[in-house]
Amino acid sequence: MYSKKLFLFDFDGVIVDGMNEYWHSALLACEKYLNTSDISIDQNLYKQVSNTFIEMRPWVKYGWEMLIIVHEIIKKENPLNNNNKSDFLKKYHQNCEEILSDNSWDSTDLQKYLDKSRKYQIDKDFENWVNLHKPFSEVINFIERIKKEKIKTGIITTKGKLFAEKILEKLNIFPELIFGYESGTKIEIAGKLSHEYEIMGFIEDRKKTLIDIKQNIETKHIPCYLADWGYLKNTDRNYLPHEIKLLKLKNLEQLLAN
């Protein structure tokens, strides 16, 4: 019998909408750290997030992939746009790997560039950077509610832990546990936590991640909820496995009644 209870949350797309920050930070990383002549940076690009980028965000698993997408959107020749994005998405992971290879890039380096871009913005103008993130007030309120119920909060994000902590601190949210991409995969982390806590639920907006958790013997018992308000593909709500529940913002409080 567990003595400690825990709710797990994804971060981007679940607790905050970071779309503006993704675009801004990936664009800055391309401008400052990518050694390529294929792109041309117009400062007006920073003023509005590309619709193509917004529509492709649900396919992204790791931060470095956003540099790939932004690079393809802003490149001088045959840029990625709404007319050809469907072809790119049909072989999304293969295309990302090919672009890495064609440019002699390494995904680890791209992730470091994204982190450097974020650190640069934090050092230069923290308020502007943190305000690029828009919190989901219903989720913030729910986290405060579960704290009153003596249930701990854990956040597992593919963002760097340092950056997630700074945003959460600004929101006046202090979860007991925060895991960034440095800590391993979400399945690995959830598996380890399940030995110590009764996990009341994992709220995530990436359907594939939840399916993987349900198919893993160590984590299959964890209640999984797909965040309806997150970065979902059009098809994510369809044919949802019965053991994964679609969760709407207005129904968050009901999780405590189960």
* Residue 160 lies in domain: 5-17+135-256
Rounded mean pLDDT, 25-30: 96
| Domain containing residue 10: CATH number | 3.40.50.1000
Helices (H), the chain: 19-33, 51-56, 64-74, 85-90, 92-102, 107-130, 137-148, 161-170, 186-193, 207-215
Query: What is the band of 258 on the pLDDT scale with cuts at 50, 70, 90?
Result: low
Among 79, 99, 130, the domain-final residue is: 130
pLDDT of residue 12: 94
Residues 12 and 31 in one domain: no
pLDDT band of 22, cuts 50, 70, 90: very high
Does the pLDDT value for residue 199 go beyond 70? Answer: yes
- φ and ψ at 195, to 5 degrees? -80, -20
- Would you tell me how many other CB atoms lie within 10 Å of the CB of residue 139? 20
Q: Report whether pLDDT(35) > 80.
A: no
- Do residue 38 and residue 115 come from a single domain? yes
Which pLDDT does position 41 carry in this prediction?
86
198-204 and 177-179 strand pairing: unpaired
How many other CB atoms are there within 10 angstroms of residue 87's CB atom? Answer: 10
Q: Positive or negative, the Cα torsion across 179, 185, 186, 188?
A: negative
**What does the pLDDT look like over 38-82, one tens digit per residue?**
888 888 999 999 999 999 999 998 999 999 999 999 999 889 998
pLDDT of residue 1: 53
Residue 179 and residue 168 share a domain: yes
Q: Are residue 119 and residue 176 in the same domain, yes or no?
A: no
d(CA 89, CA 53): 12
Residues 252 and 145 in one domain: yes
**Are residues 181 and 95 part of one domain?**
no
> Which two structure tokens, joined as six digits, stand for 37?
């002549």
pTM over 0.95: no
Structural domain tally of the chain? 2
Domain termination residue (choose one: 114, 130, 146): 130
- Domain end: 97, 130, 163, which one? 130
